[in-house]
Copies of this chain bind each other. A is one copy, B any other.
Amino acid sequence: MRRGFYIGRFQPYHNGHQSVLEHIAHEVDEIVIGIGSAQLSHLTDNPFTAGERVLMITRALASLGCPFYVIPIEDIRRNALWVAHVQSMTPPFDLCYSSNPLVVQLFKEAGVTVQSPAMYERETLSGTGIRSRMLNRDPWKDLVPPAVVQVLKEIDGVERLRQISQQD
């Protein structure tokens, strides 16, 4: 039994994340998905709550065909403790998938195997880019799974992002 860990902030969850997870699903028996900065919401860079992100991910992966766990991970602002924090909140995992240099370093120092997942196109597929498009009223719905479009509609998420991004 082989369990892999993948973490992101998912603000919002998009096709790049989906593609990485579909790839990981073929390599492990179970996936643990950590939602980073879980305590943040209602910020221009972090507009959605952890619970809203849980909903996006779970619905988007409904037909993944590989069991997965979705776990909110609050920041602890102590890098030296972060791996222990993650491990205490998640089922035990054997390897971590990440391309983030800090995450890679922290897991390596903790003795956890790290793999860099096949990378999606960062220029078009990034949370920053998609939030920008939402603010500029450029098309964005093709960049996220249909389930995410639906969740954002239910929570009036794009309107929230626009409101909190106004100048004071």
Contact = CB atoms under 8 A, between A and B. Distances in A.
Interface of A: 38-43, 49-52, 54-55, 58, 69-72, 74, 76-81, 83-85, 87-92, 99-102, 104-106, 109, 155, 160, 163-168
Nearest to A1: B154
A167 B109 CA distance: 19
B87 A42 contact: no
B92 A51 contact: yes
B88 A50 contact: yes
Contacts of A84: 80-81, 83-84
A124 to B, nearest CB: 16
Contact of A42 (B38, B69, B102): B102
A76 B101 CA distance: 27
A163 B103 CA distance: 10
Given A71-B72, A88-B51, A101 B42 contact: no
A109 B74 CA distance: 22
Contacts of A42: 79-80, 102, 105-106
Contact of A43 (B40, B76, B79, B167): B79
Contacts of A102: 42, 164
A163 B88 contact: no
Given A42-B80, A49-B80, A80-B41, A164 B105 contact: yes
